[in-house]
Structure 1
Amino acid sequence: AIARALVNEPEVLLLDEPLGALDLKLRQEMQIELKNMQKRLGITFIYVTHDQEEA
């Protein structure tokens, strides 16, 4: 879903609970990957989560 959203080269990407269904280890890996992707692409991410550790 993230790749599909990035194809259009948006200026802002809304991520609504993107890691909610993942286990802890994969969630941590994906957090790092999302941060790296944001820096590399220069796109503003709006990241919504209810997990205080993730925030």
Structure 2
Amino acid sequence: MVNKPRLLLLDESLSALDYKLRKQMQNELKALQRKLGITFVFVTHDQEEALTMSIVSW
């Protein structure tokens, strides 16, 4: 975050976490996205997580 990127690639970044920590990290990432205006490309095989993290999904 030091270089203030406009795009952050997240490939299965939360998949190894337990449910509680995954939910906490989802909230942290969404807050960071709102605060800094960063675009995320978020790759996951978990449909619930995709819907939780998405503003626009393709």
TM-score range relative to shorter protein: 0.7 to 0.9
Number of paired residues? 50
> What residue is the counterpart of 1:11 in the other structure?
6
Q: Which amino acid aligns with 2:30?
A: K
What is the Cα deviation at residue 9 of structure 1? 1.4
Identity of aligned residues (%): 68
1:47 matched to 2:42: yes
- The whole-number CA distance in structure 1 between the counterparts of 2:2 and 2:16 is 23
Over 6 Å off, 4+ runs: none
Q: Structure 2 residue aligned with 1:21, among 13, 16, 21?
A: 16
| Greater relative contact order, per chain length (Cα 8 Å cut-off, separation 6+) | 1
Gaps in structure 1 of 5+ consecutive residues: 1-5
Gaps in structure 2 of 5+ consecutive residues: 51-58
- The whole-number CA distance in structure 2 between the counterparts of 1:11 and 1:50 is 24
**SS of the counterpart of 1:53?**
helix
- What is the 5 A alignment of 1:24-39? 24-39=19-34
**SS of the counterpart of 2:45?**
coil
